[in-house]
Amino acid sequence: MMARMPALADTGYDDNAATDDGLVQVNYRKYDGTLHWNLRMRRLGEDEYGIWLGLPADSVMRKGHNPAVPVPEAHVILFPRDAWWTATFNAAPRSTEVYCDITTPPEWPSPAEVTMVDLDLDVLRKRGTRLPLLVDEDEFAEHQVRYGYPAEVIHSAQDAADRLMVAVAEETGPFGGVHGRWLAMVE
């Protein structure tokens, strides 16, 4: 059973807490539990869409325990409540403006950590275009066998991808430009 992401008010997080550096450890894992993409991001705030974290330009992230990978552009990630995805919004000039990872619903073991399982499928939109792309369907099919995804996980991942394709194309919900105010906080 996946834990529901708490509202900031329910986590005990205090934006003004002197002992809290405001950083959150972000851990994407694979279905077998191995560490996938991971990084530390600054907590920016919360709105009706979820919790927003940000990373300034010239930062780093890691894939598993490998060496740091440079991230030249600023970006923000939205961690929605009870949804099977996360959404990254990249600053220009990065060619991918929106990148949605299909994941299990984000879990917050503490206010300083968020974790989810990356389920391979991704919905992205290139800068200057309106139509999103669904990518990594081959990896999703391969990992269904390798990791033994249950039918519920397969269905939830496919449903999330279908819904995101529409939302990103129609620029509804958090894909209608609301990310701009969050991105401005880290640019």
Question: What distance in Å separates the CA atoms of residue 108 and residue 50, rounded to the nearest whole number?
Answer: 12
pLDDT at 20 over 80: no
Q: What is residue 117's predicted lDDT score, i.e. its pLDDT? A: 98
Contact of 6 with 109, CB cutoff 8 Å: no
- Mean pLDDT over residues 143-160, rounded? 97
Query: Confidence band (pLDDT; 50, 70, 90) for 11?
Result: very low
Say if CB 42 and CB 25 are below 8 A apart.
no
Domain segments of the chain as ranges:
43-59+73-109+117-183
Listed as own residue / partner, the contacts of 33-38 with beta carbons closer than 8 Å and 24 or more positions apart are 34/64, 35/64, 35/65, 36/63, 36/64, 36/118, 37/61, 37/62, 37/63, 37/118, 38/62, 38/63, 38/64
pTM above 0.75, yes or no: yes
CB 47 within 8 A of CB 137: no
* Mean pLDDT score, 124-131: 96
3-state secondary structure of 15: coil
Report how many helices (DSSP H) and strands (DSSP E) the chain contains, helices first.
Answer: 4, 11
Q: Is the pLDDT of residue 126 over 80?
A: yes
* CA separation for the pair 69, 76 (Å, rounded): 17
Q: What integer is the mean pLDDT of 93-120?
A: 97
Q: What is the three-class DSSP state of 29?
A: strand
Instruction: Give the DSSP H/E element, type plus range, for residue 46.
Output: strand 35-47
Per the model's pLDDT, the better-predicted residue between 157 and 4 turns out to be 157
Give the span between the Cα atoms of 55 and 89, in whole angstroms: 11
pLDDT in tens, 26-63: 999 999 999 999 999 999 999 999 999 999 999 999 99
- The number of C-alpha atoms within 13 Å of 159 and in the hemisphere containing its C-beta is 9
Residue-level pLDDT at 9: 36
For residues 70-80, average pLDDT: 97
Considering only 4-8, 73-77, 134-138, 169-173, which range has the smallest mean pLDDT? 4-8
Mean pLDDT estimate for the chain: 90
Place of tokens 């105010």: 181
Higher pLDDT, 9 or 84: 84
Range 43-59+73-109+117-183 classified under CATH 2.40.380.10: yes
